[in-house]
Structure 1
Amino acid sequence: MASNRDPFQFQEFEEAENLLDSHRDAVTISIEEEDLKSKSQRTAVGFSPDLTDEDPLGSDDKAELLGGQKKTAPFWTFEYYQTFFDVETHHVKERIIGSMLPWPGKNFIQVYLRKNPDLYGPFWICTTLVFATAICGNISNFLWYHGSPNYKYTPEFGKVTIAATAIFSYAWLVPLGLWGFLLWRNNKILNLVSYTFMEIVCVYGYSLSIYIPAVVLWILPYEWLRWCSIVVALCLSGSVLVMTFWPALRDDNPRVIMAVVSAIVLLNGLLAVGCKTYFFSKPDVEAHVSSSLKTEAVQSTLST
């Protein structure tokens, strides 16, 4: 006959009962009491139970997620600059459009950067402007010389180096000087508006995007069109820069404000006029033809 006892029912061990009956004065220790005792001993010695029991890396991650903090790598490491190239395509598009179409009352840094400057857009804008200036300058010279019987086209690759030096120097050295000046003035007047160096570099890089279509228009051999495009590009680019840095300058001395604003507009205009004058100036066809004839004469003399 089968037993009616439930095999899963909890049962006391007979040996344990006999042992407790024989030793009534024995002291029993629970596992939970042992854990509490060990924790209290570690606390008395000087060890924190939270630090020993929990993963320190996990606690740091939790603190970063809850507090909204993010670890920043040192500026001499690759990881520090890698964050400035982590940007979405639509963000770059919005920033390019915002630099070409300034709107009164809109600060470029506050509206488009949102404390997240990038170097991806400024780098490729400057690089595109370098090659556009050099290539369009060669094409413009070719159109000027076209039709001359003794003209022989030779590409001028040295213009790429000159354009790169001028544009990248403007995009990095001018923001560096402006950042240092604003940092010095903010310590004197205690202005609450301050910009980082990367934010200023980002603004200057995107402000050059309007010059790319202007340089393409400079291919056409019309001086009035070139100067009109320079004026339009200078007004749009200069407006973005002035409206962006105005909150950081408005509490300063009026003379200082006028000097800084004039320097910003003047340096921007010097870059545009300098590129137009050097790369797109009207060439002297007769001088080029005479120099080419002299070169051919020297070569024929040497060959004979």
Structure 2
Amino acid sequence: MDSSSGPDHSEFSPDPHQTVAPVPSGSSGPSTLAFNESQLPTHHVSGKVGDGVPRAQPYATSLPTASGPPLPVHGGGDPVTNLEQNAKYALWNLRRYRRYFNVDTEDVLVRMKDSLVGSFKPDFLDKITDNEDLYGPFWVVMTLIFVTAVVGNYSSYENYKRKHTSITGQAAGTWYYDVNKVLYSAILFFGYVWILGAILFVALKFVFKSEISLPQVWCTYGYAMTVFIPASFFCFFPNVISRWVLCAVATATSGIFLLLNFRAPIFDSAGAKAVPIWLAMGACHLGLGLILRLYFFKYQAVKIEI
């Protein structure tokens, strides 16, 4: 068969950025199928719906596509539009609150890390503006409730062993697990984060006309409890000095985080009355640390009688 009878492709030079698919034999004309290579990202696939939350590190706000305008990725979108879309639902409709749970593991971990270093860079409220979440704070508090209850009972058990251990090294009597510590820790942490946070919001919003929102207050208070989780684990060690040091460091770290991040909203709105509010916040947080140390992480070095 004469090769000159077929179609001439000598002058066709495909784009090096395109993938050319061969045309099946028997088709008429010099037809080729060209596919543009996708420029869409294949990472950060988390299953979230809508816009992400801001990260501590800078990241790209858009990525180019083969044609058309850039597609927004993490942090894109219009926060005002998102707020308006959620506000159209009734207060009892769960869709109104779904934006507060639209986070993934990376978002929560970044915000937990920000709460630990927030004493040195108090910009947490700036990062969560229009992107505050309640999912992370809820699970931080729930984790802290059970960890505190377990460590508190362990401390009670250590005290019991030292008080009732005889010269033979055998413990006398029976020790009972105090299940009420779970209830008391739930009252303590939920009351501190949600109730005290709501009281602070009411004072700032309706008395001093601040622009801060209730979810922002809850989000900040909830993540501020992060440092108490590792501190509680280390309080397993039955040593009076170490427990005092751990509770003091955790209370100071989270307290400074709260005071520095709420400093601008309080002083900008409350004016001359800002100092008493600010000091009251610090006093409440100091009380939280003392309750943890003196009740849940109580340790007594008891002298063993022979």
Give the alignment's TM-score, normalised by structure 2: 0.65
Cα displacement (A) at 1:81: 2.5
Alignment of 1:32-43 (within 5 A): none
Cα displacement (A) at 1:196: 0.4
Structure 2: segments with no counterpart, 5+ residues: 1-76, 166-170
1:165 to 187, 193, 196: 187
**Cα deviation digits, residues 1-54 of structure 1 (max 9, x gap):** xxxxxxxxxxxxxxxxxxxxxxxxxxxxxxxxxxxxxxxxxxxxxxxxxxxxxx
Conserved in 2, the CA contact under 8 Å of 1:145 and 1:285? no
Matched, 1:251 2:268: yes
3-state DSSP class of the match of 1:247? Answer: helix
The 1:237/1:217 distance shift into structure 2, 3 A limit, reads: same
3-state DSSP class of the match of 2:287? Answer: helix
Cα displacement (A) at 1:206: 0.2
Cα distance in 1, alignment partners of residues 227 and 180 from structure 2: 24
Larger-gyration structure (1/2): 1
Alignment of 1:204-215 (within 5 A): 204-215=221-232
Matched, 1:89 2:70: no
| Alignment-mate amino acid for residue 175 of structure 1 | G
Alignment of 1:1-304 (within 5 A): 69-70=81-82, 71-72=85-86, 73-111=89-127, 113-146=128-161, 148=165, 149-187=171-209, 194-251=211-268, 255-282=272-299
Conserved in 1, the CA contact under 8 Å of 2:243 and 2:297? no
**Cα deviation digits, residues 94-114 of structure 1 (max 9, x gap):** 100010112545321112x14
Cα distance in 2, alignment partners of residues 160 and 79 from structure 1: 31
Equivalent pairs counted in the alignment come to 217
The 1:95/1:253 distance shift into structure 2, 3 A limit, reads: closer
Cα distance in 2, alignment partners of residues 272 and 67 from structure 1: 36
Q: Percent identity?
A: 26
RMSD: 2.5
| Alignment-mate amino acid for residue 250 of structure 1 | F
The 1:89/1:221 distance shift into structure 2, 3 A limit, reads: same
Conserved in 1, the CA contact under 8 Å of 2:197 and 2:217? yes
Conserved in 2, the CA contact under 8 Å of 1:104 and 1:243? no
**Cα deviation digits, residues 196-236 of structure 1 (max 9, x gap):** 00110000000001011111122212221112112211221
The 1:285/1:114 distance shift into structure 2, 3 A limit, reads: same
Cα distance in 2, alignment partners of residues 93 and 250 from structure 1: 30
| Alignment-mate amino acid for residue 241 of structure 1 | L
Structure 1: segments with no counterpart, 5+ residues: 1-64, 290-304
Cα displacement (A) at 1:144: 2.5
3-state DSSP class of the match of 2:266? Answer: coil
| Alignment-mate amino acid for residue 104 of structure 2 | E
Higher relative contact order (CA 8 A, sep 6+): 1
Cα displacement (A) at 1:77: 1.5
**Cα deviation digits, residues 228-247 of structure 1 (max 9, x gap):** 11221122111211121111
Cα distance in 1, alignment partners of residues 177 and 217 from structure 2: 36
Cα displacement (A) at 1:252: 5.1
Conserved in 2, the CA contact under 8 Å of 1:109 and 1:115? no
Cα distance in 1, alignment partners of residues 226 and 79 from structure 2: 37
Cα displacement (A) at 1:255: 4.6
Cα distance in 2, alignment partners of residues 139 and 106 from structure 1: 35
| Alignment-mate amino acid for residue 246 of structure 2 | S
